[in-house]
A = this chain, B = another copy of it.
Amino acid sequence: MNLALEIAFSRQGLTSPNPAVGAVIVKNGSIIGKGGTGPAGTAHAEVRAIDDARASGADLSGAEMFVSLEPCCHYGKTPPCTEAIIKAGICRVNIAIADPNPRVSGKGIEALKNAGIEVFVMENFSRSAHDLIRGFEKLILHNRPFVISKSALTLDGRIATSAGDSKWISSEYSRFISHKLRAKVDALIVGKNTYESDNPSLNVRFADSGKEVFEYFSLEKFAFSGYDNFFLKELLTSDINDFKDPLRIVAGIPGLFHENSPLFKDDNYIIVANRDDLNRALKDGNNYLNKLNIETTEVLNQTETSLYILEMLGKRGALNVMLEGGAGLNSSFFSSGNMDQLMYFIAPKLSGNGISVLNNTGSEKMSEALKLYDVSSVLIKDDLLYNAYTKAFNTR
């Protein structure tokens, strides 16, 4: 099952709107097939594992399958996986977690059982499996992607000095993990101020990291504390060979545009802008805007914009999106109740003043602060990676 989970992780970022799943087939104590979910519209993990076994000439009758998520039993773009499992003659299916959709949950298990297959839910792996499908669960239940708020901050909670300087807060080791994270999400979002100040590329760039970074991650035995987070462990320790650049979103019309912005170098981006703001910018003679991918909305404030973006991404089937700052963007998602996971790289330094990671939002009462659950932490060199969720595993 651990291998099935590792395969599931390796497919994250490549399967939306389907969940990333891993499947392993075992017969007579040997692995005879394995597979992970393919891109949308292609075969799921179970079918790929069966195909993999068949390709090596294995006889599947009497074999056992380990799969990170309950197999589907409905016709979508592909036939149901339960059917393929039954046809293959597999006699036992071990599942890490049931489907998160209450209307579907258990039906795949039932279909297998009705066909005489033994089914076992391995609850020891449910937590790890859940860490990998949090995005799928959010999309299925709320029609919006799961929001990971990533920030690099000083120990005193600043993401930049009072002059806006933020280069660099965290180390190149932490930035390498940020690039790995980008490979695992379907979209990245920045606020217009971050576009203006940083002129970011928002792509997956492992080539930026020196040899010493790769060496560190291949050799380091990380000391994880707190909630045992499979996603986090895989993120730090596994190689990412297969990935694509996520969709890039800019929230709001930037007041200035950089020449040759890498963010606009191909069509894989959207600027989400208020219609009046856009018209005003066009009237000001900013003709460059005519060449850009801009989606206009009628919503007026940042909080409403955050909801608009999530609904737009939900319609596109995005499972996971990551906020890449700044404070205004973070605060708008915080205000609209749409932060699901916090990944803060806390650097060993004190800024003293500057821009806080969240600003001008929240309650006047400390008892009403947003509570975080399933806290884990790990030191990456001298940066502390703090990971937590706004919902606990056991209260989902």
Contacts and interface: CB of A to CB of B under 8 A. Distances in A.
Interface stretch (A116-124, A271-279, A347-355): A347-355
Contacts of A361: 352-353
B375 A352 contact: no
B370 A349 contact: yes
Interface string A374-396: 01011100101010100000000
* Across the A-B interface, the 6 shortest Cβ-Cβ residue pairs: A157-B157, A352-B362, A163-B364, A348-B372, A349-B369, A352-B361
A158 interface: yes
Contacts of A223: 223-226
Given A334-B352, A353-B359, A382 B377 contact: no
Contacts of A224: 223
Nearest to A167: B366
Contacts of A156: 157, 356-358
A42 interface: no
Contact of A358 (B346, B351, B377): B351
Given A163-B365, A225-B377, A352-B369, 20 more contacts: A155-B344, A155-B388, A156-B358, A157-B158, A165-B366, A166-B366, A167-B366, A225-B378, A225-B384, A334-B350, A350-B372, A351-B358, A351-B366, A351-B369, A352-B358, A352-B360, A352-B370, A353-B359, A375-B379, A377-B377
Contacts of A157: 153, 155-158, 356-357
Number of copies: 2
A291 interface: no
A116 to B, nearest CB: 45
A154 to B, nearest CB: 6
Contacts of A375: 348, 379, 382, 384
A161 B362 contact: yes
A363 interface: yes
